[in-house]
Amino acid sequence: MIIPVILLLTSILLYIYVYIFKPLCYWKELGVDQDDPWELLKSVLLTFYSVIWKREDPLVSVRSRYSKFPGKRYYGIYELTSPGLMLRDPDLVSQMLVTDYVHFNDHRVLIHDDLDPLFTKCIFALKGEEWQKIRKTVTPSSTSSKIKTQVDTLSEYSQKFAEHHLRPDGEIVEIEMRDVTTRFCNDVSAKLSFGISIDSFAEPDNEFWRMCHRAVDTISMRKVLSFTVYLIAPKLVKFLKMKIVDNEADSFFRQVISETMKIREEERQNGVNGSDLIHLLLEGRNRAKLNHGKVAKGSYKSYNADWSNIEIIAQAFFFHFASCAPAPTLLSFMAYEIAVNPDVQDKLRREVYDIHDTCGGKLTYACTNQMEYMDMVVHETMRKWPSVIEVDRICSKDYTIEPVLPGEKPVHVKRGSRIIAPIYSLQHDPKYYPDPEKFDPERWNEQNKRNIKPNTFTPFGFGSRTCMGGKFSVLQAKILYYHVLLRFEIVPVEATKVPLEVAKIPRLNAAGGLWLGLKPLADF
């Protein structure tokens, strides 16, 4: 009897060593600094608990992790037992993710291809040549000339937003900023991406909004569990059919985008040129058909592909998702900082009034570029409250980090290894931003911004994978708050938490909601 027990215990210990303990020594064996493996094992269990049961706000672990190994350019971390290399030095980040981007040009995607093609076939998840094809085609949608044409739509929806919250008796309207800014982004994106007019304020329970809300929800227990199970047992995700976008939202967006595609094709055949994202994608596919076999490999047009309908649908869906998930972080936290910093708000409103007079009440692209202080406020909000806390890349070609500091040795990064750049931590490092928790737009005035170290402010990512919607997000914030500040004073209310408490969810948000008041201005 004792021999089987000994064999069983030996087998268990051997399993723990081979599949749990030894993987936690990966970086140590390569001579890279990391935590003690036993501490890591305890941390794995605590991290799993805190993520699943939402017991810790996401910034606690981020700050703790970045504070380790001061003076080191990089160090090893683990996600459960999966190794990753944290880049702590902005110069090294620039070298690897910008200069040598061909080695690190792919994202890690924790979604199963068969279950969620709306995500796995979109530009964010695509790799290599497939990513290049899509990028080349959708790039015109984010150029300055294209963005100029969107000012009128942004201004129209921003004005609707402001007028919806006006009360004739001068009553302060209390609103939860994450909710109202997500509704705003949903309506704007529906118009610019699909040509569909939605008013999620006049019709708060409209189907488009409800499906958008379900699609962009990445913090529910079910979805967090799906991501976690994928890390532990990817095959189990497929077996259990744990989708990120539920079936109803998936079917809804497929139908809406398919119908829009059909309309755009009919318009094209009648000589009408559309201006939205779907038009660009269909134009790319049609160009590929016309040039099939006639274009030299490597030319610009060779990047246009004969995509299937689902691939076009995936791009349109992702751009809508990206418009309604990260963007409200900027818009809601910007409102909070304006409300709790009245001196900033006063200066901002003076500039808004000046611009309003200059442009004769008709906001233009040129006028938005004259709102210098507004631009400073937007940038400081993105520094203090970035929509993306960290960004990762997967090594697609073996790479060697050459030694620079005393005691360093060459580190060979193997294909498939994960690299992490700490956006939030770099933007809160007092070495680069003195008194980083202070909201100080003057960091971004013409004189001071020259002293900001490159690659310590990267709210839209790095290198060729930089978010294409960055310029649009800044413009959207400037236009929205131009119209809001013309009509309102943004004020704290009883439900406003000062200082702000971060929610214990895997996304940057305020605990209990970000509640503020819009107090109508008597002189407008």
Residues at the annotated binding site for heme? Answer: 467
Cβ-contact 336, 493 below 8 angstroms: no
Per-residue tokens: 341: 């910093």
Task: For CA atoms 124, 129, 133, 138, give the dihedral sign.
Answer: positive
Which residues, at least 6 apart from 58, have a Cβ–Cβ distance to it below 8 Å? 389, 502, 505, 506, 507, 508
* Residue 484 near residue 162, CB atoms below 8 Å: yes
Q: Cite the DSSP H helix spans in 72-220.
A: 90-94, 117-120, 128-138, 144-148, 151-164, 177-194, 207-216
- Joined together, the tokens standing for residue 124 give 């964010």
Q: Could you give the angle at the alpha carbon of 381 between the alpha carbons of 376 and 383, nearest 5°?
A: 95
Distance in angstroms (rounded) separating the CA atoms of residues 111 and 242: 9
Measured at the CA of 516, the angle between CA 444 and CA 199, to 5 degrees, comes to: 95
Tallying the residues shown for the chain, one arrives at 524
Q: How far is 257 from 117, CA to CA, in rounded Å? A: 14
Q: What would the two tokens of residue 438 be?
A: 């202070």
**Dihedrals phi, psi of 231, to nearest 5 degrees:** -65, -40
Binding-site residues sit at: 467
- Going by the DSSP 8-state scheme, the letter that residue 326 receives in this structure is T
Q: What is the rounded radius of gyration, in angstroms, for the C-alpha atoms of the chain?
A: 25
Residue pair 456/433 in contact (Cβ under 8 Å)? The answer is yes
Nearest alpha-carbon partner for 194 in 250, 241, 153, 243: 153
What count of other Cβ atoms lies within 10 Å of the Cβ of residue 354?
Answer: 13
What residues pair up with 490 in beta bridges, in sequence order? 518
Neighbours of 83 (CB within 10 A): 19
Structure tokens at 334: 């910007």
**What does the alpha-carbon distance between residue 137 and residue 155 come to, in Å, rounded to a whole number?**
27
Sorted by sequence, the CB contacts under 8 Å of residue 222 that are 6+ apart come out as 242
Query: 342-358 vs 327-340: helix axis angle to the nearest 10?
Result: 110
Q: By three-state DSSP, how is residue 40 classified?
A: helix
